[in-house]
């Protein structure tokens, strides 16, 4: 089997810090040098200059798999970039935070190198990614009645499963956004961070109990090690945990599916990034115009 994996280039590629990025085969099958970004044109963009979206990113790089090997991850550049482009084109500002203010970690191996819109975006936001805001400080000081924020965006990438699903500050933020009827946007593995809103100590109901979402299916994550996308099986599966708390994941494939349930907007995979970004931007615009 190891010889066959070498022949078809299905062995994960080691990094300099003892982790692994996806195999050449996996990169060929699961990434692209371009995207399907549609240009982000909106007939009636927001022009008030005040409303903002808070983007919560991971600051952790390596996921320890079930076999002990490390997967070099972070936030997926397409799942982050295309929704950002749509929100910015629709007239919203985006602020970036991580749990402690550490640099945003990005899956650079998934960067669409021939997509000029995405490359320009990441170049423009490089200072904010290197020195983001501190989520803990935001929770202490900025969750006010006169907030300029219309919603929170949690981008995808397996890195969203690191340091976010169990983060108490993120839990406070999500519950506050829910209470204020603001919007929560998340795609692919980003919905794993919704678990932060579950307060097992207080025994209060999960705020997303009864919701339907689009997200990356556990069943696909269980298959990806066969092509060397990851160096082993996942340490845990977020879909199982969300389902156990009353959430229904509507899609069965890692496809372009998107979903709106009340103020929660979700997407299934990188294939959904453009549609998810447009759906999110249009929904926010409808909310302020109507």
For residue range 224-276, list pLDDT tens digits in order.
999 999 999 999 999 999 999 999 999 999 999 999 999 999 999 999 999 99
Give the 3-state secondary structure of residue 149: strand
| pLDDT tier at 8, thresholds 50, 70, 90 | low
- What average pLDDT does the segment 190-210 reach? 91
Pairing assessment for the beta strands 133-134 and 149-154 based on DSSP bridges: unpaired
**Backbone φ, ψ for residue 53 (5° rounding):** -120, 130
**Alpha carbon of residue 262 to chain centroid:** 19
What are the residue ranges spanned by the domains of the chain?
A: 2-32+50-289
Give the 3-state secondary structure of residue 185: strand
Q: How far apart are CA 130 and CA 80, in angstroms?
A: 15
- What average pLDDT does the segment 35-48 reach? 96
Q: What is the structure's pLDDT at 48?
A: 87
Q: Which fold has domain 2-32+50-289?
A: Rossmann fold (3.40.50)
Q: Per DSSP, which regions of 188-263 are E strands?
A: 212-213, 248-249, 258-261
Kindly report the length of the chain.
Answer: 290
DSSP string over 233-244: --S--HHHHHHH
Q: Tell if the pTM clears 0.75, that is, is over it.
A: yes
Residues carrying an active site annotation: 188
| pLDDT tier at 281, thresholds 50, 70, 90 | very high
Q: How far apart are CA 124 and CA 47, in angstroms?
A: 21
Q: Looking at the predicted structure, is the pLDDT value of residue 56 above 90?
A: yes
Q: Looking at the predicted structure, is the pLDDT value of residue 4 above 50?
A: no
Q: Looking at the predicted structure, is the pLDDT value of residue 1 above 70?
A: no
Q: Looking at the predicted structure, is the pLDDT value of residue 173 above 90?
A: yes
Q: Please state, in angstroms and as integers, the Cα–Cα distance from residue 48 to each residue in 36, 44, 52, following that order.
A: 29, 12, 10
Question: What is the enclosing helix (H) or strand (E) of 117?
Answer: helix 116-130
Average pLDDT, the chain: 95
Which tens digit of pLDDT belongs to each residue from 140-160?
999 999 999 999 999 999 999
Q: Looking at the predicted structure, is the pLDDT value of residue 19 above 90?
A: yes
């Amino acid at each position: 089997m190891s010889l066959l994996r070498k022949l078809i280039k299905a062995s994960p590629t080691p990094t300099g810090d003892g982790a692994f990025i996806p195999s050449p085969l996996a990169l060929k099958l699961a990434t692209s040098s371009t995207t399907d970004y549609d240009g982000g044109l909106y007939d009636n963009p927001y022009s008030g200059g005040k409303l903002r979206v808070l983007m919560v990113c991971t600051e952790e790089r390596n996921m320890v798999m079930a076999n002990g090997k490390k997967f070099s991850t972070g936030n997926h550049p397409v799942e982050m970039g295309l929704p950002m482009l749509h929100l910015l084109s629709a007239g919203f500002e985006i602020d970036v935070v991580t749990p402690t203010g550490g640099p945003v970690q990005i899956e650079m191996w998934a960067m669409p190198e021939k997509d000029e819109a995405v490359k320009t975006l990441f170049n423009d936001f490089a200072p904010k990614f290197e020195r983001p805001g501190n989520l803990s400080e935001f929770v202490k000081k900025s969750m006010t009645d006169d907030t300029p924020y219309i919603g929170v965006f949690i981008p995808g990438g397996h890195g969203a499963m690191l340091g976010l699903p169990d983060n108490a500050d993120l839990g406070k933020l999500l519950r506050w956004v829910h209470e204020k009827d603001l919007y929560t946007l998340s795609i692919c593995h980003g919905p794993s961070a919704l678990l932060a809103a579950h307060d097992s100590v207080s025994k209060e109901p999960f705020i997303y109990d009864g919701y339907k979402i689009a997200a990356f299916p556990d069943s696909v994550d269980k298959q990806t090690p066969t092509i060397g996308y990851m160096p082993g099986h996942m340490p845990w599966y977020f879909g199982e945990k969300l389902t156990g708390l009353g959430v229904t994941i509507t899609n069965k494939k890692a496809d372009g599916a998107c979903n709106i349930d009340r103020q929660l907007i979700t997407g299934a995979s990188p294939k959904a990034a453009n549609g998810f970004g447009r759906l999110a931007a249009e929904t926010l615009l409808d909310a302020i115009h109507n």
